[in-house]
Structure 1
Amino acid sequence: MRSRTSLIVALLSTAIAAPALAETNADLSNQTVEGPSGQDAEQPVVAAPPARRAFNTGVAKGRDLLNTAISASVIDEDALEQISANSVVGIMQNIPGLRAETSDIDGFSATTVRGLPLAADGSKFLQLQEDGLPVLEFGDIHFASVDQFMRADLSLAQVQAIRGGSASTFASNAPGGVVNFISKTGETEGGTLQISSGLGYDLNRLDFSYGSPLGDGWRFHVGGFYRQGEGPRDIGYDAFRGGQIKLNVTKQLENGYIRIYGKYLDDRQPNYSLYPVLISGTNENPTISDLPGNSYQNHAYQSAITQEYLGVDQNNNPTVYDASNGLRGKTSSLGLEAQFDVAGFSVTNRFRFAAISGEYNENIPMVTAPSFALAGLLVGPGATFAYAGGPNAGDPIVDGRLLALSIRINAQLNNLDNATNDLRVSRVWELGSSKLTTTAGVYAAKQSIDMYWNFQNSLNDLAGGGANAPVDLTSADGTRLSDNGAYGYGFAFGVPISTYHTRYDLQYDILAPYGSVNLNFGKLALGASLRWDRGDVEGNVYKAEYGGGRVGTAALDVDGDGIITAVEQQVAILPLGQPALVGYDYDYVSYSVSANYRVAEPLSVFARYSRGGRANAERILGAGSLNPDTGALADPSIAYGIVKQAEVGLKFRTDGLAAYVTGFWASTGESNFQIGADDSGQVVVIPVNRTYSAKGIEFEGEVQRGPFALAVGATYTKAQIDEDNNDSSLVGNTPRHIPDFAFFARPTFNLDKLTVGTVVNGTTESYAQDSNILVQPGYVLVSPFVQYRPVERVTLALNAFNVLDSQPIVQLASAIIPPSGIINAQVMNGRTVTASLSYEF
């Protein structure tokens, strides 16, 4: 098997249908690739080599990449087997133009494209799709990153991505681009059974995939996985538990096809978020090292001793939270997809309903200090600590060891149900020697956001290795100020106790008609597309911060012992009888225009300008932005943001060689709340009201010579803050976490029974925060793989992620090196080796 990553037409240009709403090659079996002059080539698309494949988006014809004015990439099935990353966002790190931050888990990730800002977690400007429809309508819902509800397994056929281009007009809320994860659909009979296991760590996994034609035009595919184990970091319990199953059935007709598909996902993963580390050196060249007894790449902040804790539920009743649920994603979805050719028109409809829920758990240190210093900070002279749980329960702490005041976050994702339908009609009109392709469509979606947040402060030691234990604080007069490690049922340090204690119950309705035209004459193709998005938002928000007599605290016997202790005298609660109303609407127009010129058979050039919108979800519903009595926004303009992009590209392809270069410019405004860190490393929430711009160059190439193949990609970006209405000192600075240069390379060497290669990912340094003082080091990840086929149908494989055990830092949570020399950091895993055995049948 050869590794191939080619810039391919993920979708047709503005002319034909929604980009990244692609069909697999089987649905193109009776269609052809248009040649340079727009005339049909003789060979069918399925027979074309990878660099020439086109993808059907529900119309009569596909297009060759060199005839389209888009910048797109594809990761094929062979390459997916070789990439050592297990997470959805980890796979996306192998697409040029994308900035993907992850600890190689699904959830607590951040993705962006072409230098657009990473103001928060999730994916604000880049839409993640499965089989042509968005997983969630908004990619940056608090504590609900889209990838938390997606998994990569053997049922995945390929990943397609379009950056900029017509994504603005063929998908709602995707002005930066679309990444589409496409499932296998059973064109040929066969399957795979695979078992894999960590070497040196506890994680076992079973994958399966099988598809087949059934006769009379029917075919099916089923696949999924199940896994369980502690995982590559010491956490003290099975942090990975669960799996998914996907099934689709297709009926091929003379004039089209009908497909029904479904997915069931229930999977838990640990949240490898921020971890305390030592930082030294200078702001320009910091050095990161471990705290005594800790390993930030091999340990997690959670532990079996602290996994269960008391709290308050959304009905203000005492409850027990189980942090071992980690990042839990649950999805039950059912979809219908159909395409028909009728009287010269191609009609396509895609529909999916997904019942989505889950849970988010996080535990991070707010203040880390020696015990005597932390006691003095929180209470004053004479205060003492003692263990509240674990093997040392009851023992006083007298040696000044490091302790932490932590913040526990639990988000109950009650209902994130998503229903979408995309209907479009296209036709190719013959105009002499030219062709005019027209498309009209309408997109409708409903997105629920029903979630409850519980924040509370706790106290624990930093034993590391999955052994962190709770501690209790006692004042000098003998008053116990915490209960079994709980220091505040809500915030007890720095901000009001009910801060962020919130429940959202919202419904977003979206309607978006769109259309496009594309005129192809000779070597030149001109395209234009237009979309109008309209949204209605209704619901309630429960939080005390809206004022008006809304109560946010009460005395409550949380542990049920009949005594109101010091920590129970003020417990964060919801004002259940006084919800804030939400009721507003918005609309915006997106458009894109393009030109593509096929200079010669191996060479083409293109140019495009696009304006796309992106609606904002619950992140804008703060106390100052919403009138809680009417539901109206104080400033209606914050309901959505606009992204403008210009791009110019050159595409070259000949036998065994392909090169694609795109220069881009992008700008956007941002009204949001950004989680950052101050000079002491303390977590802070920063209101953002800015404009940004970025320019750069994307490159992707492929070389194939006999048994050798090389896929490479790189992005050079220069981004800056153009205007900041809250802090003018930031104007001209580089947005945080945006490096100047990022790259990947994937060389492979394929013999009869052996395939060897490696995946290399790297970035240059960036800034930890927008103040541009503390530098976040760059990194290079080397992840080799070996596949050995001792007999037919059997493959033994080793994948080694980060084999050199480098320190790939995702984020440093501080603006400068603080005087304490301790900050929080998020990092990718250290060296992780996985062995697998697969059997094809």
Structure 2
Amino acid sequence: MKNTHTLNALTLAVCAALSGTAFAQEAAPSDAEKKEKEKYEQIVVTAAPGGATMQEASVSVSSFDENDIIKLAPRSTAEVFRALPGIRAESSGGGGNANITIRGIPLATGGSKFLQLHEDGLPVLEYGDINFGNADNFIRYDWSVANVEAIRGGSASTFASNSPGGVINMISNTGEVGGGAIGTSFGVDYDEFRLDFRYGGEISDDMYYHIAGFARGGEGPRDTGYNGDQGGQIKFNITKMLDNGHIRFYYKNLDDKVSTYLPSPVLVKGDGEYGPVPNYDASSQALNSAFNTNISTFDSFGNPENRDVRDGIESKVSSFGIEVDLEVADNLFLLNKFRTSDISGGFIAPFTDGFPAGPGDVSNFASALCAGATDGDGNALNCDTTTVTLANGPGAGNAYSGQAFTNLQFDTRINDLGNMINDFSLRKEFDNGVDLTVGYYYSNQEIATSWSSWQTFIQTLDGSNSQMLNITNGDGVELVSDGLLSPSFLSWEWDLNYQTTAPYMNVGFELSDNILIDASVRYDTVEASGELINSCCGGNTDFDINGNGVIEQIEDASATNSGFIRGGVINLNRAGAASQIVDYDANNTSYSVGGSYLLSDSQTFFARYSKGGRAIADRLLQIGGTLNQDGSLTSTTSGFDTTKQLEVGYKYGTSDLMINATLFDTVTEDTQAEVTSGLTFMREYEATGLEFEGRWNATDNFVMAGNLTWTDAEISSDVNNAAIVGNTPRRQADWIWTITPEYVTDTWSVGASLQGSTEYYVQDNNDLKQEGYTLVNLFATYWVNDQFSVALNVNNATDEFVVTEVEATPFGEISTGDFVRGRPLNGRTTVLSLKYMFD
């Protein structure tokens, strides 16, 4: 039952070959059964008591290797995660900006608040829902990854900070098993090229290494009019084996840009059914445009600057880490994981603020805009007539009377999201079956971002290079110049620091050969400091934004135009800007108690109760009444939200059949702020559910795998809006599933991954919903020989139009034929990949 080392050879032996856009199978089909057996004997290394295998551990744990991932036909990291039991991973944002949660825990806004994403046992970011800094923006799935391990609930509360819902850990290939591969993949029906490589092996008898990475370029899965997916990653590690353990050094450099897809126009086709609006299909097209790539704006201090919209989500990460795993005395094990990361980049993308043309044309909008505007002296304008023309692109200067949308250009610079993290622990195994672990966790997380003076444009509603519009009144006064409706919307400068310290302890008892019990506790302390400067908007001098040599009304710093959408440039400077100081300490005690009863080598019953906490971090500053003027916390918040979970489960695992079932009950507090609507939440949610996970090797050739999760969730309390109490939380379906049948021969394999959901409400008021759906992902691989393979995979083969979120603009009654603001999953995409393996 005991294990003498936390590094298990079986973990290292799972050698993956994975690509973010296409996955060609590397392992020979005859190896599948052996690797499946290894999986149940694999030591759990993620957010759990040490020394227990996946079969023994009293937690819900899943592990994916390359053979599992290639069947999902993923186009992003989030699409890998969505196949894990109990996890909702909404990948509608493209290569980043995904929304991820678990087990009915709320997904009130973006990111992954209660679920942490780890690389090699340490969080990518301490907080997964930083405004415009989602954790998945700074992580890429490629051939450097050996396997993905996920802990749902349970001991994640005490073995990791700020992750009471669970942890998804991407574990690197270390090269203990030598060899390499190189491969290319091509978008068949979309524009993307990608090169992946990996190589590893022994340097000497006691030293080995692994290096891997990728480079790519293209538009990505949706039409943007330019190459928005550009960049790559390289990861390297080297391991020195000692007589009593190992020391490993890691390095990662990520420099990548991906287009992100924010909510955009969607047509309401019926109750729960959505589709493309005329001239624009949000599932395969984007409102990004080659005619609006470079914009002149103001930084958060009011200084003029230029921004390139093609940067999209720009992710720059340079990190270095050390892992030390040693038996320092008889049955006394030291494990220390350290990583320091420089993280920066940006986030810029068009966001649909509204539909001034509705399903009709733009003329009514032009008239209303003119009627609501005044000149610099406050006098009404001549609005007897208005003219709308194309400002750029084909037909520039021609009159335009079609559909339009207002583009609120989200524009944030990620100056510093760097962190330094260290997790130290000592584990002692006693002869009487007691296992004691004590540890200390330290994290220093920077949050320094600049929300520039977001501009609002009016553009043609067109999925193929949307064009800017000009609007003038009867006297020739430009109300909209080169598409610019309002030169500035807001301007915030964030400069925050969060230091987390957490001593923790776990005691495990081996009461008999088949009864294991453990109890753990963690005490998190967060020291928050910094400042948020809030000043809206622009600079305090005239600025020729469109560069035509003339200071027009919209560029006049003294103009203050109120009414309708346009706001003008407000004459403010930083000297008089509002400021919120942050200076507080917060703490939380987490605990977890669980046990396993090993009925046999293949059957385990387990139960666990846990309470964990999540520091609220930067979003706390957007919620009124939570901070005093001196930066201290008010009585309305403790600075932490908590999650309580009860789990009861059963595991059955052999090389031919695996079945896991877990009953869970969850209560979660959530204090949250939503950027797009300006709403804030102080709520409690309750969820009860049942997870199933299984795999059946029916014959030597046919394998069936999958998972199914049922969740019954409700909003149990709300401080600000009692009317929604009892409602189902937004985007929470009763059932979600992934079912993957596969047929394998000596030279080829073919299969499908069916991922689906029953209907769910897209807002907390439970008015709008998305009907149930099933996405069909197809995959096939042909081995030309033992070294060379060709693979084809199709994501969303039936081209389903499925929205993950929807808002009415403006909010109100919705009828069939209306336009709403929504974010759908990608339509059908097909990838062809080639891979060559070598020693």
* Alpha-carbon distance in structure 1 between the residues aligned to 2:626 and 2:680: 15
Aligned to 1:502: 492
Contact 2:302 2:539 in 1 (8 A): no
Deviations 1:163-206 (CA, angstroms, capped at 9, x unpaired): 00100000000000000011100011100100110113221110
Instruction: Find the partner of 1:515 among 505, 513, 528.
Output: 505
Map Cα deviations across residues 388-437 of structure 1 (whole Å, 9 max, x no partner): 1112222222xx31011221111100100011000000011111xxx110
Is the 2:44–2:57 Cα contact (8 Å) retained in structure 1?
no
CA distance in 2, matches of 1:65, 1:806: 36
Equivalent residues, number: 782
What is aligned with 2:472?
A: 474
For residues 686-835 of structure 1, the aligned pairs below 5 Å read: 686-704=679-697, 705-814=699-808, 818=814, 821-835=818-832
Give the partner amino acid of 1:319.
E
Please, which moves more after superposition, 98-107 or 637-646?
A: 98-107
- 1:724-776, Cα deviation, whole Å (9 max, x unpaired): 11111101000000000000011111111101111111111100100001112
Shift of 1:26: 5.9
Asked if structure 1 preserves the Cα contact closer than 8 Å seen for 2:370 and 2:479, the reply is: no
CA RMSD across the alignment:
2.4
Judged with a 3 Å threshold, the aligned counterparts in structure 2 of structure 1 residues 177 and 574 are, in CA distance, closer, same or farther, namely farther
User: 1-side partners of 2:216 and 2:714: how far apart?
Assistant: 43
In 1, Cα distance between the equivalents of 2:7 and 2:343?
Answer: 24
1:310-709 equivalences in 2 (<5 Å): 310-344=296-330, 345-368=332-355, 369=357, 370-380=361-371, 381=383, 382-397=385-400, 400-431=401-432, 435-454=433-452, 455-465=454-464, 467-491=465-489, 498=490, 501-522=491-512, 523-544=514-535, 554-559=540-545, 561=549, 563=551, 565-569=553-557, 570-571=568-569, 575=574, 579-622=579-622, 624-625=624-625, 627=627, 629-635=629-635, 637-675=637-675, 684-704=677-697, 705-709=699-703
Deviation at 1:563?
A: 2.2
Shift of 1:553: 6.5
Are 2:267 and 2:276, in contact at CA under 8 Å, matched by a contact in 1?
Answer: yes
Q: Distance in 1 between matches of 2:276 and 2:460?
A: 15
CA gap 1:378/1:16 in 2 versus in 1, 3 angstroms: farther
Matched-pair contact (CA < 8 Å) for 1:24–1:55: no
How many Å apart are 1:600 and its aligned residue? Answer: 2.9
Kept in 2, the 8 Å contact 1:318–1:558? The answer is: no
Residue 494 of structure 1 is matched in structure 2 by none
Match of 1:495 in 2: none
How many Å separate the matches in 1 of 2:263 and 2:415? 25
Task: Quote the Cα distance in structure 1 between the aligned partners of 2:819 and 2:785.
Answer: 53
Could you tell me how far apart the structure 1 residues matched to 2:627 and 2:140 are?
Answer: 39
TM-score, normalised by the number of residues in structure 1: 0.89
**What stretches of structure 1 of length at least 5 have no aligned partner?**
1-8, 30-44, 492-497, 546-550, 676-682
Structure 1 residue matching 2:677: 3-state secondary structure: strand
Amino acid at match of 1:297: S
Q: How far apart are 1:626 and its partner, in Å?
A: 5.5
> Which residue identity does 1:686 align to in structure 2?
L
Q: TM-score, normalised by structure 2?
A: 0.89
Is the 1:581–1:630 Cα contact (8 Å) retained in structure 2? Answer: yes
CA contact (8 A) 1:747 1:759 kept: yes
Q: Deviations over 1:669-721 (max 9, x none)?
A: 1111135xxxxxxx522111111110100010111131221111011001101
Shift of 1:840: 0.2
SS at match of 1:62: coil
| Letter of the structure 2 residue corresponding to residue 421 of structure 1 | N
Residues in 1 aligned to 2:329 and 2:273: alpha-carbon distance in whole angstroms: 67
Letter aligned with residue 600 of structure 2 = A
Per the TM alignment, residue 555 of structure 1 is displaced from its structure 2 partner at its CA by 4.5
Name 1:678's counterpart in structure 2: none
Code of the aligned partner of 1:836:
S
Distance 1:300 1:23, change over 3 A: farther
1:281-321, Cα deviation, whole Å (9 max, x unpaired): 2xxx2432322222222211111001211110133211111
Bigger Cα displacement from structure 2, 521-530 vs 559-568: 559-568
8 Å CA contact 1:421, 1:443 repeated in 2: yes
Cα offset, 1:567, TM superposition: 4.4
Q: CA deviation at 1:583?
A: 0.7
The percentage of aligned residue pairs carrying the same residue is 35
The alpha-carbon distance between structure 1 residues 605 and 386, as it changes in their structure 2 partners (threshold 3 A), is: same
Distance 2:166 2:748 in 1: 37
The residue matched to 2:599 in structure 1 has which SS? strand
**Structure-2 change in CA distance of 1:658 and 1:286 (3 Å):** closer
Aligned to 1:172: 161
* Change over 3 Å in CA distance of 1:722–1:453 after alignment to 2: same
In structure 2, relative to structure 1, the CA distance for the partners of 1:387 and 1:831 (3 Å cut) is same
* Other-structure match for 1:679: none
Cα distance in 2 for residues equivalent to 1:223 and 1:470: 43
Distance, in Å, in 2 between the alignment partners of 1:112 and 1:24 is 31
Q: Evaluate the alpha carbon distance shift between residue 543 and residue 413 of structure 1 in structure 2; reply closer, same or farther with a 3 A threshold.
A: same
Alpha carbons of structure 1 residues 623 and 75: separation in structure 2 relative to 1, 3 Å:
closer
Give secondary structure in 2 for the equivalent of 1:685. coil
On the 8 A contact 2:39/2:63 being kept in 1, the answer is no
Cα offset, 1:485, TM superposition: 1.1
Distance 1:334 1:231, change over 3 A: same
Q: 8 Å contact 1:59–1:426 — kept in the other structure?
A: no
**Cα offset for 1:603?**
1.9
The 2-side partners of 1:739 and 1:764 are apart by: 6
Choose 816-825 or 203-212, whichever is displaced more: 816-825
Alignment-mate amino acid for residue 769 of structure 1? Q
Code of the residue aligned with 2:300 in structure 1: it is: Q
How many Å separate the matches in 1 of 2:765 and 2:45?
A: 46
Q: For the structure 1 residues 516 and 441, does the alpha-carbon distance in structure 2 shift closer, same or farther, using more than 3 Å as the test? A: same
Q: 1:76 aligns to what?
A: 65
